[in-house]
Amino acid sequence: MSYKVVKFGGSSLADANQFRKVAAIIKSDDKRRFVVPSAPGKRFSDDIKVTDMLYKCCELAGSGVDFSDDLQLIKNRYNGIISELGMDMSLDEEFDTIERELKARPAKDYAASRGEFLNGKVLARFLGFNFVDAADVIVFNTKGSLLLEETVKAARERLKGLENAVIPGFYGRTTEGVIKTFSRGGSDVTGSIIANAVRAEIYENWTDVSGFLVADPRIVDKPDVIETITYRELRELAYMGASVLHEDAIFPVRSAGIPINIRNTNAPEDAGTMIVSNDHDFSRESLGHTITGIAGKKGFSSINIEKAMMNNEHGFGMKVLKVLYDNGLSFEHMPSGIDTMSITLETARLEPVRDKVIAELRREVEPDHIDVEDGLAILAVVGRRMKNTRGTVARVFAAMAHARINVKLIDQGSSELNVIIGVSENDLPEAIRRIYDMFINSEKQ
Ligand code: ASP
């Protein structure tokens, strides 16, 4: 039998009511056997995540300040869930251990990991599933990098023969036995590893949205959900700031050919977004829009260099890039003409070395003119189908022209997976709306 690995984020397990929804989801499909929980997240917008409460306890412990009241607040949250669910369970012993450990060795990762550890215990008991401590299966080296092979081997070994299990997300241990966490949001990574270890048919990542949206809902009114997205497209959109999934969660499942399905605990009937290696992997094809997603990012500057006959000057580009390199700068795009060259880069990175970089460029390449333009935004139109569709770029430009938006830079990678345009920051929201209209709304009609 093939299994589904299901990961539930913090908001999906924030209180007893959410626990009930989670249990109903798991029990409604017999394949959902391996469960990875986060720590209880926010119940309302001003609420504090248990992980953050634990970090605070650790900080207080580290400065020798009494943290018993703060720890008691965390205990209250778990006890509230336990009693509301009508369970007969005590976490007194676990909390005594945590208090003792934090007093003796206030380690940040250990403290934070207890959120998932305790939630895993409660969820396992509530579901009647086995509890498997992530410290037994997720292995890091002493520098803190995940040892994927060892981990998959250990997890396979430990889970072999178990009918079901709850494995807390977010942490593991180093080869020296010290508790270590992933970066924030890391339960996504644990879920992905477990999916690989049990050779799951799918990795379901349950959260509080019904998948990735085609565009930012703060800019486009009620944007469509992306039905299917490839890993490569996801990387492009994630780089531009769209985030639902931890970046490191992709590799363990991608390498094993396991799709990820982003689902909504509060709307389990929604199909969510399917993340696949390529279209053919999964039969559920999306609506067939030319583009998959649109993302935009503000805060860029362009260094514009002009010099007659620049094109004939051997090593001109190399000298320019060397100046950037020497100043620790990386660039995003480099559109150029015969006698001009522009380099787009993040303003915040340029700022501390701006004058020095300009002075060095003047010295190295002796331009006829050099200036820096700030206030640029970059917009990425991403879609695997663009490759086989003519006129995509023309449509992007038509949308901009109709809106009287000046396009300051364009770049289409050779993969033809995305079209990048640079516009003034003020124009970014309108540019996104126009492109959404052009590709999504008009293709629906
Ligand atoms: N609880 C951890 C966090 O708040 C990890 C996670 O939720 O995935 O970042």
> At the topology level of CATH, where does 4-209+244-257 sit?
Carbamate kinase (3.40.1160)
Query: What's the pLDDT band for 163 if we cut at 50, 70, 90?
Result: very high
C-alpha torsion sign, points 362, 364, 369, 372: negative
CB of 187 closer than 6 A to ligand 1? yes
Q: Ligand 1 centroid to 50 CA: how many Å?
A: 9
Q: Is the CB of 39 under 6 A from ligand 1?
A: yes
Pocket perturbation via mutation, ligand 1, pick of 51, 167, 182 by most ligand atoms within 8 A of CB:
51
Q: Residue 240 pLDDT > 80, yes or no?
A: no
Best CA proximity match to 164, nearest among 122, 137, 127: 127
C-beta neighbour count of 284 within 10 angstroms? 11
Distance 215 CA to ligand 1 centre (A): 25
pLDDT of residue 417: 87
CA-nearest residue for atom 6, ligand 1, is 185
Atom of ligand 1 minimally distant from the CA of 38 = 7
Whose C-alpha lies nearest to ligand 1, atom 5? 185
- Let me know: does 165 contact 131? Beta carbons within 8 Å: yes
Confidence of residue 279 (pLDDT cuts 50, 70, 90): low
Model confidence pLDDT, tens digit, residues 142-159: 999 999 999 999 999 999
Q: How far from chain centre, in Å, is Cα 278?
A: 20
Ligand 1 contact via 7 beta carbon (within 6 Å): no
- pLDDT at 443 > cutoff 80: no
Ligand 1 centre to CA of 278 (Å) is: 29
Q: Across all residues in the chain, what is the average pLDDT? A: 93
Residue-wise pLDDT tens digits, 300-348 = 999 999 999 998 889 999 999 999 999 999 999 998 888 999 999 999 9
Location of each CATH 3.40.1160.10 domain in the chain? 4-209+244-257
**Mean pLDDT for the stretch of residues 398-418:** 88
Q: What is the predicted pLDDT for the residue at 243?
A: 75
Q: Is the CB of 115 under 6 A from ligand 1?
A: yes
**Predicted pLDDT of residue 286:** 47
* Residue 233 in tokens: 């497209």
Q: Which amino acid is at 335?
A: P
418 bridge partner residues: 382
Give the pair of three-digit tokens for residue 128: 């009647």
Residue given tokens 């997603």 in the structure block? 293
Measured distance CA(376)–CA(348) in Å, rounded: 12
Range 57-66 contact pairs with CB under 8 angstroms and sequence separation of 24 or more:
57/102, 57/111, 58/102, 58/106, 58/107, 58/108, 58/110, 58/111, 58/112, 59/106, 61/102, 61/103, 61/106, 61/111, 62/106
Cβ–Cβ < 8 Å for 395, 439: yes
Tokens of 115: 């959120």
Q: Residue 362: left (phi > 0), alpha (psi -120 to 50), or beta?
A: alpha
Q: For 8, what's the count of Cα atoms within 13 Å in the CB-facing half-sphere?
A: 31
Query: For 128-136, what is the mean pLDDT?
Result: 98
Place of tokens 């992933």: 182
Q: How large is the angle between the packed helices 16-27 and 108-127, nearest 10 degrees?
A: 60
HSE value, Cβ hemisphere, 13 Å, CA-based, for 376:
28
Q: How far is the CA of 327 from the centre of ligand 1 (A)?
A: 35
User: Six-digit token pair at 189?
Assistant: 């990574």
pLDDT at 282: 45
pLDDT digits (tens, 9 = 90+) for 195-215: 999 999 999 999 999 999 999
Give pLDDT, residue 311. 85
Alpha helices in 240-315 (DSSP H): 250-254
- Delimit the CATH 3.30.2130.10 region(s) of the chain: 293-444
In the CATH hierarchy, which top-level class contains the domain 293-444?
Answer: alpha beta
Residue 304 host element (H or E): strand 293-306
The answer on pLDDT for 252 being more than 80 is yes
- Among candidate residues 405, 411, 408, the one with its CA nearest the CA of residue 426: 405
Amino acid 385: pLDDT: 85
The protein residue whose alpha carbon is closest to atom 8 in ligand 1 is 185
In 3D space, the residue among 379, 245, 377 whose CA is nearest the CA of residue 302 turns out to be 377
Q: Is residue 231 scored above 80 in pLDDT? A: yes
Q: Is 60's C-beta closer than 6 angstroms to any atom of ligand 1?
A: no
Confidence of residue 441 (pLDDT cuts 50, 70, 90): confident
- The share of the chain scoring above pLDDT 90, in percent, equals 84
